[in-house]
């Protein structure tokens, strides 16, 4: 059976996802609607590669509203399962998931907001999707992009394994920064912290304001998502978050921040030296710790033999320590970028397609 | 909806799987039949923890035949989806999968035979399960036990990613042997190859005759499974397999083999020394190489910085290099043992339960 897909948010990830769909599998998946924050394009026949032009044209497209978008899908829902794909990072769109679920639509998304924000919204979504026959909400790409993190955690939990610890490097940006800043590789040229941040910014690895990476909030959201899947009611208030932006630079404007960051190079150099002298490296890690109830985001140290110490580039890594996996189950690889994020979304869609074929 | 599960083969893995089912999720999954090679126990009500006694009792159980077992399931199939779980490593049972699929049963198994043996059987199974609404055949536990290897590879392939290379250490036994024999860790006490094999045998990590590990056939089967999922028609004849059992010991009886293995310690020591002097370690790896058409099982060398070099214990590791993951997607962890193998089976069953709930 053909699954209808409707996409809200057609930036880098959304566009790449549509490209992947249109170049493969087109028999099983039909793109029937696309929208950006201003316009929407809906159709009774599958959209083709001309969708970008059509969405930009005032003749083919209509002004976007969540209500109008939803109404257009409801008309065609009867004949095919419909999946709404939220490729925004928008809170208002996330708050709309219950409406979509109640209308009978599945939801697939890389948007972290619904799973890491308001706990009441999260529980509402969980409740609405827990009954037999209810729509499915999949969000593999919210942590580690397309790496099979969420599915693996769900499998562990749903088969009754006991989660002892989930630990990982969940930010490509902070992976890159500390893999380069803190290394036991004697061939590597030592760099100042501010220099590494500057290069990461120039390569496009950081947010426009690198403090949005260094403050730990993105990693915290991922810790909250994983913790909730493991059964913990985590919120930003209940986990410890180590913000590594120097306190005096938190209120400065963005250019002031970059200009003054070199003043703190000795601070970071000192931290690094203390680690390296003990045969350890610095890594910025998220931790879900159900046993001690202490989930956190911290700048921690790892010995050379630890898998986190040998991480390269901007790769993510996650280690699940469980009753069945006392030696942890580890997943690593590229955890950022449009191609792998779209891959995670596409995998989720295929699972829904398979799960609705009977 | 409740899914009925019927298990053939109740050794370590089968028994552990039933234990996991009975201690969790019992509302969604009902064990309705169990069988060993002699007896079978079928029931219209879910089996309970007394199944072992009942299967051993001549009053409750009947003599096992594949035909009788299948007939008993057909009677109850109408009301619930039924999954046959093959926990044997038997070729005759594997050859029966087409009959089960045609009877409308799903199949879940850690048995490698159907996916790594006769290519005609494999293609028949693929054909029978490729139509919309046809039963599903899942075999996550055939490679790396419960590690999410098969599902991840299927996701990559089905979403149109291009597989460049699949490389891994797929044998817990050979992982243990070479992690201990060949290490750059200067703290580790050097050991002779025959000593490491002897310890591995004593710990129960090897087959009763360790040559069944060292000949590479088990790893070859896993390479064939992965290669076929990646679209290659691999067979034992078309891949290169490096048998590391010394040639003069291949025909000896098992005790002669263990007694004479120390005569070859200098051979292995020499190989190891050549690697270590270059900052490398020896690892016994399987390779699927669609680009060059050269899939293989070989004793290869890896530098200290490679993830394969820092592997510990008897862990498995697999690296998928693809178009979307030029820096490979890596999965590692315990790849042997009843608990994690049963976990893989159980995860597959839950996927079928989800996929048939609509």
DSSP states of A183-239 as a string?
Answer: ---TTSPP--HHHHHHHHHHTT-S-SSTHHHHTSHHHHHHHHHHHHHTT----TTTS
**pLDDT value at position B51?**
94
Best residue of B18, B77, B321, B324 to probe chain A, by most A CBs closer than 10 Å? B324
The reported pLDDT for the residue numbered B343 is 97
Same domain, B109 and B36: yes
Q: Is B222 noted as a catalytic residue in this protein?
A: yes
Chain B CB within 8 Å of residue A331 CB:
yes
Q: What is the pLDDT of residue B354?
A: 82
Domains held by chain B: number: 2
B26-48: average pLDDT: 89
Q: Which two tokens stand for residue B138?
A: 């899942």
Is B98 among the domain residues? Answer: yes
Nearest CB partner across the interface for B329, out of A133, A333, A356: A333
CB contact under 8 A, A333 and B333: no
Taking the Cβ of residue A161 and every Cβ of chain B, the question of whether any pair is shorter than 8 Å is answered with: yes
Count of helix runs (H) and strand runs (E) in chain A? 15, 13
CATH code of the domain containing B211: 3.30.360.10
Do B202 and B281 reside in the same domain of the chain?
yes
pLDDT tens across B218-233, in order?
Answer: 999 999 999 999 999 9
Assign B26 a pLDDT band (cuts: 50, 70, 90).
low
Enumerate residues 265 to 304 of chain A having a beta carbon within 8 A of any beta carbon in chain B.
Answer: none
Strand order in the sheet with A106-108: A62-63, A39-42, A29-35, A3-8, A82-86, A106-108, A137-138
Please tell me the distance in Å from B253's CA to the nearest CA on chain A. 35
Asked whether residue A267 falls in the same domain as residue A194, the answer is yes
* pLDDT higher than threshold 70 for residue B351: yes
- Domain with B23, as residue range(s), is 3-146+339-355
For A329, the closest chain B residue by CA position comes to: B333
Q: Cβ distance A285 to A297 under 8 Å? A: yes
Reported as half-sphere exposure (CB side, CA atoms, 13 A), residue B18 has a value of: 26
From residue B170, alpha-carbon distances to A1, B307, B343 in Å are 36, 14, 17
Report whether A11 belongs to an annotated binding site.
yes
Flag whether B35 is in a domain.
Answer: yes
Cα separation of A237 and A223, whole Å? 12
Quote the tokens at residue B50: 């007394």
In angstroms, the first-to-last Cα distance of chain B is 9
DSSP for B87-131, please give it. -S--HHHHTTHHHHHHTT-EEE----HHHHS-HHHHHHHHHHTSS
Pair (B127, B266) in one structural domain:
no
Does residue B250 sit at the A interface (CB-CB below 8 Å)? Answer: no
Could you tell me the two tokens for A141?
């790409």
User: How many whole angstroms separate alpha carbon B4 and alpha carbon B46?
Assistant: 8
Using the Cβ of B77 and the Cβ atoms of chain A, whether some distance falls under 8 Å is answered with no
Contact check, Cβ <8 Å, B325/A333: yes
How far is B236 from B245, CA to CA, in rounded Å? 17
Q: Which of B147, B185, B327 sits opposite A334 (nearest CB)?
A: B327
Average of per-residue pLDDT across A272-280? 96
Tell me if B164 sits within 8 A of B322, measured CB to CB. Answer: yes
Mean pLDDT of chain A: 94
Helices (H), A11-118: 12-23, 51-56, 66-77, 91-94, 97-102, 113-116
Mapped onto helix, strand or coil, the DSSP state of residue B302 is: strand
Model pLDDT for residues B292-342, shown as the tens digit of each residue: 999 999 999 999 889 999 999 999 999 999 999 999 999 999 999 999 999
Chain B residues with CB under 8 Å of A148 CB are 148, 151-152, 155, 331
Task: Tell whether ipTM is more than 0.90.
Answer: yes
Residue A151 in domain: no
pLDDT digits (tens, 9 = 90+) for B162-179: 999 999 999 999 999 999
Q: A350, B158: Cβ pair inside 8 Å?
A: yes
Q: Which of B52, B77, B162, B222 is catalytic?
A: B222
Residues of A in contact with B324 (CB under 8 A): 146, 334, 339-340, 343
Q: Give the CATH number for residue A95.
A: 3.40.50.720
Model pLDDT for residues A179-211, shown as the tens digit of each residue: 999 998 888 888 999 999 999 999 999 999 999
Q: Tell me, yes or no, whether B294 lies in a domain.
A: yes
The pLDDT of residue A25: 61
Instruction: Establish if A25 belongs to a structural domain.
Output: yes
Name the residue among B127, B114, B176, B145 with its Cα closest to residue B312: B176
In a domain, A152, yes or no: no
Same domain, A141 and A185: no
Strands in B329-334's sheet, in edge-to-edge order, are: A240-241, A296-303, A280-288, A163-169, A315-322, A329-334, B329-334, B315-322, B163-169, B280-288, B296-303, B240-241
Say whether both A248 and A294 belong to one domain. Answer: yes
User: Do B210 and B313 belong to one domain?
Assistant: yes
């Amino acid at each position: 059976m053909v699954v209808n897909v409707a996409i809200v948010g057609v930036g880098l990830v959304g566009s790449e996802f549509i490209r992947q769909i249109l170049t493969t599998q087109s028999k099983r998946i039909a793109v029937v609607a696309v929208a950006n924050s201003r316009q929407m394009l809906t159709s009774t026949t599958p959209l083709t590669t001309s969708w970008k032009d059509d969405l930009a044209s005032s003749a083919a497209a209509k002004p976007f509203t969540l209500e109008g978008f939803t109404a257009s899908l409801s008309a065609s829902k009867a004949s095919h399962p419909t999946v709404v794909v939220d490729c925004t990072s928008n809170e208002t769109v996330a708050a709309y998931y219950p409406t979509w679920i109640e209308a009978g639509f599945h939801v697939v998304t890389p948007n972290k907001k619904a799973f890491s924000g308001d706990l009441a919204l999260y529980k509402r979504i969980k409740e609405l999707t827990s009954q037999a026959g209810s729509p499915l909400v999949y969000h593999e790409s919210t942590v580690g992009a397309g790496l099979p993190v969420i599915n693996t955690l769900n499998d562990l939990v749903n088969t009754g394994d006991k989660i002892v610890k989930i630990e990982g490097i969940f930010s490509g940006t902070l992976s890159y920064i500390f893999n380069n800043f803190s290394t036991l590789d004697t061939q590597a040229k030592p760099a100042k912290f501010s220099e590494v941040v500057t290069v990461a910014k120039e390569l496009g690895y950081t947010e426009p304001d690198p403090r949005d990476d260094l403050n730990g909030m993105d990693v915290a959201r991922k810790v909250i998502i994983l913790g909730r899947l493991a059964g913990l009611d985590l919120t930003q208030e209940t986990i410890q978050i180590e913000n590594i932006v120097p306190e005096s630079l938190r209120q400065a404007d963005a250019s002031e921040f970059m200009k003054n960051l070199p003043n703190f190079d000795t601070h970071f150099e000192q931290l690094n030296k203390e680690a390296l002298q003990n045969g350890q490296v610095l890594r910025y890690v998220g931790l879900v710790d159900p046993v001690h109830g202490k989930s956190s985001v911290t700048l921690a140290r790892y010995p050379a033999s630890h898998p986190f110490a040998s991480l390269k580039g901007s790769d993510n890594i996650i280690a699940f320590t469980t009753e069945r996996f006392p030696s942890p189950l580890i997943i690593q690889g590229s955890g950022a970028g449009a191609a792998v994020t779209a891959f995670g979304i596409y995998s989720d869609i295929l699972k829904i397609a398979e799960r609705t074929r009977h």
